[in-house]
Chains A and B, each alone.
Chain A
Amino acid sequence: MRRAFLFLLLVIAACTPSDERTELRIQRFFGACDADYGGRTDIAAAEGECGIMTSIINAFEAENPDIRVNRNVVFWPGYDQLTAQLAANDAPDLVTMHGSVISDYQARDLLLPLGDAMAEQGINTADFTDAARRAVEIDGQLWGLPIDTWAPLWHINMNLFREAGLVEEGEPILPTNKEELFAQAEQFRQRTGKPYFVQATANEYASFTRNFYTFIYQQGSSPYTEDGRANFTTPEAAEALSLFREIYERDMTTKNQDYSASVSGFLNGQGGVYLVGTWMVGTFEQASKETGHALESGYTVYPYPQLYGRNVTYADGHNWVMPADPSRTPEEREAALRFLEFFAEQNVHWSRTGHLPVFQETIDSADWLALPHRENLAPLAANAQPLPKSIRRQFPIETIVGQESAAAVTGAKPVDQTLADMERRINTILDNL
């Protein structure tokens, strides 16, 4: 013990900074990649979430000699750690947070509103896309700077689509209703001998939830009522589950693949359409440039097709938020706001990750549209549909919805019973807020 204590004293002595700069504590996920990006400040040359994020922070520090950035990288999604820090009154200045989680912390007065301060700092908050604004707006206030919007997409293997006769003038033929989907999937199976869909359905539940929410919204219904309760015992919810039940039952999808297996499955040409989020666009685009690859010159990506009355896709996004901290000095707050301004300017760089930009100006810009497939994805800025902010605990709820859906889709439980169980479990959570 004593040895440890002495060591502690030594370490404290060694680490006390004789540094006049303002310390800005930034806590984020997206991993660490210091081996490749440790000292790099060239944002335009960086690749991938981690590389671009690291370079942006490095560049900010280089351009602001009066600020020292304390980078706290945490394991995804980092909320257990953040919750512990907030409970111990030891919050960082800026934290990455999913839009679906913001209302939990905001409702407990743990976040600071940033709308006015960001506007004063010169961030054009009026230009936020609909999806980006809805991710951070509660009661008319903005509770953070949106980093991006992400949505599940139809990643398409064009080589297999061609083989299946589902390409017309270089564009994939996508279904416009359920009957067409099944007919095309049958045709796909007959001509290629492979399933139409590649899906991560084993030990992975997030995609079930995304599909479920998306197709409830597409039918003009909503998974939650106006007063914030689960609304799953509806014909629309039953239809959304039955759709994927039928896809599974009729072998129109790969089965028993976990997330990793489904990624390699799609890369190896095991199926036509992979249902996964915006973050994979870069990886697949890269593969399509490799000779001899199953995706060689044969990758494209689209938002979910409109199979029902409304053209919407469930979406979420990453955001910067500022936890409440009475001990934060005005200088630290100012440093944080300057960082947000700097980050907002790099919007187009961040969107090279595949995620959607948060400023309409970026989406309309030639720079962004010049990136591969972005033209196809641009409509998402208007079509992306996050859950309403009045629904708290979206994160644990997502797991329950996903697990229950999985039971119905794989046939372990009847659809009606699943929807009733799901609604009961989620309303119990919402009743006990």
Chain B
Amino acid sequence: MRAMRLHPAALTLVIIGAVIMMIPLLWVLGLSFKSNAELLADTSRVFSPPYTLENYLNIFGNGEVFRWIINSLIVSLGMTTGVLVISSLAGYAFARLDFPFRNLIFIIVLLGLAVPEQAVIIARHQMFSAVEMHNTYFALIIPGMATPFGVFLMTQYFKAIPKDIDEAALLDGASRFTVFWKVLLPLTIPAQATLGIFVFLTAWNDYWWPLISGTNKEMFTLTVGIASTQQNFAQTEGLGFLMSQAVFAALPILIVYLIFQKYIIQAVAGAAGR
């Protein structure tokens, strides 16, 4: 990495920005350690003791929570893996291979990016109803895997890799798949990590599709499950509990981010450098 230093003015701006970013987060954290009764009377008591672990203990008082976490992990990891695999394959093909109707298909896939979820969700629901596949992991994972975003992103990244790298390998007699797998794929790790975070995050926080597809509590994801435990006026009467659930539900994604961030930043800079 360059040993460049940030201009002090820029550094100041970034730090001010970070503080602005942090205040609401600290607030969430603070609320999650306060008793609900106290918050009912006055939410601004956040930054003064007493604090309590009661809200976090209450999360685990509901035995279903572990089931929901497992469901969310299966769905999010399944979707992330799936998207990474099929998008890398397709991205490579669209960026490097020449086949009939390539550009036409690519443009159609791109147009698919513009399809809003609300335009397809009811029809999707009807399709899964027709084959009686609701309340399965399959139904929770498959629709999210079709996002054209992955293909779009991977195609752009494969295109950004200089062509002479794979041409050299092809001349050496490597098969297309070897070129893809051994030569190019390692170079796209930052993009894979970015896409991985994005898909995991989307899957983990998704609410609509799991709500209407996984309707039995055995199939609730964490977002749906946590919402279901709220009482009618939870924002008023159970603010601290709500916030502890939020922190709890966000932790896995933060961990995933911390793992993936290494691959985004530490990846050896520049394909051309090799």
| A-to-B contact residues, CB < 8 Å | 1, 3-5, 7-8, 11, 15, 29-36, 38, 48-50, 71-76, 80-81, 84-85, 87-90, 259-260, 263-264, 267-268, 279, 283
Q: Which residues of B have CB within 8 Å of A73?
A: 217, 228-229
Cβ of A259 and Cβ of B233 under 8 Å apart?
yes
Q: Within B203-234, which residues are at the interface with A (CB < 8 Å)?
A: 211-213, 215-218, 224, 227-234
Q: How far is the CA of A361 from the CA of B232 in the complex (A)?
A: 28
A-B pairs, top 9 by smallest CB distance, nearest first, are A35-B61, A31-B231, A84-B212, A32-B229, A75-B227, A88-B129, A4-B78, A35-B58, A260-B236
The reply on B134 being an interface residue by CB < 8 A is: yes
Contact A34 to B128, CB < 8 A, known contacts A73-B228, A263-B236: no
Residue pair A35, B62 in contact (C-beta under 8 Å)? yes
What is the bound-complex CA distance between A264 and B57, given in angstroms?
Answer: 25
Residue of B with least CB distance to A50 = B231
**Dominant secondary structure of chain B at its interface with chain A:** helix
Contact with A along B43-64 (1 / 0, CB 8 A): 1000000000000011011111
Checking A1, A38, A80 against B212 with a beta-carbon cut-off of 8 angstroms, the contacting residue is A80
Given known A35-B62, A49-B232, A90-B215, contact A5–B137 (CB-CB < 8 A): yes
Bound form: Cα–Cα A35–B137 in Å: 28
Contact across chains for A283 and B57 when beta carbons are under 8 A apart? no
**Does B215 lie within 8 Å of A76, measured CB to CB?**
no
Any A CB within 8 A of the CB of B141: yes
| Complex Cα–Cα for A85 and B229 (A) | 19
> Is A1 a contact of B78 with CB atoms below 8 Å?
yes
Per the bound structure, the CA–CA distance linking A7 and B43 in Å amounts to 43
| Interface bits B16-52 vs A (CB < 8 Å: 1, else 0) | 0000000000000000000000001111000000000
Q: Are A35 and B57 in contact (CB under 8 A)?
A: yes
Q: Which residues of chain B have C-beta atoms less than 8 A from A80's C-beta?
A: 211-212
Cβ of B57: which chain A residues have Cβ within 8 Å of it? 35
Some 22 contacts from A to B, beta carbons below 8 A apart, are: A5-B137, A5-B138, A11-B218, A15-B218, A31-B228, A31-B230, A33-B229, A34-B64, A36-B61, A74-B228, A76-B230, A80-B211, A81-B211, A84-B211, A84-B212, A87-B125, A88-B125, A89-B129, A259-B233, A260-B235, A264-B43, A267-B41
Contacts A5-B137, A90-B215; A279 near B228 (Cβ below 8 A) = no
For residue A353, give the distance in angstroms from its CB to the closest CB of chain B.
11
A260: contacting residue among B64, B125, B212, B239, CB under 8 A = B239
Q: Which residues of A contact B216 (CB under 8 A)?
A: 72
Distance in angstroms between the alpha carbons of A156 and B43 in the assembled complex = 22
Q: How close is A98's CB to chain B, nearest CB, in angstroms?
A: 11
Write the nearest CB–CB distance from A64 to chain B, whole angstroms. 21
Of the candidates B64, B135, B211, B232, the one whose C-beta lies within 8 Å of that of A279 is B232
- Asked whether B138 lies within 8 Å of A8 as measured between CB atoms, the reply is yes
A contact residues around B78 at 8 Å (CB): 1, 3-4
A72 to chain B, nearest CB (A): 5
In whole Å, how far is B230's beta carbon from the nearest beta carbon of chain A? 5
**Most chain B CB neighbours (cut-off 10 Å) among A49, A71, A72, A259:** A72
Is the Cβ of B231 less than 8 Å from the Cβ of A30?
yes
CB pair B63–A34 under 8 Å, yes or no, is: yes
Decide: A283 and B237 in contact? CB cutoff 8 A.
yes
Contact B43 A34 (CB under 8 A): no
Task: Known A7-B74, A84-B215; judge A30-B232 contact (CB<8 A).
Answer: yes
Q: How far, in angstroms, from A36 to B132 measured CA to CA in the complex?
A: 36
- Shortest Cβ gap from A386 to chain B (Å): 19
Q: Is B136 an interface residue (CB 8 A)?
A: yes
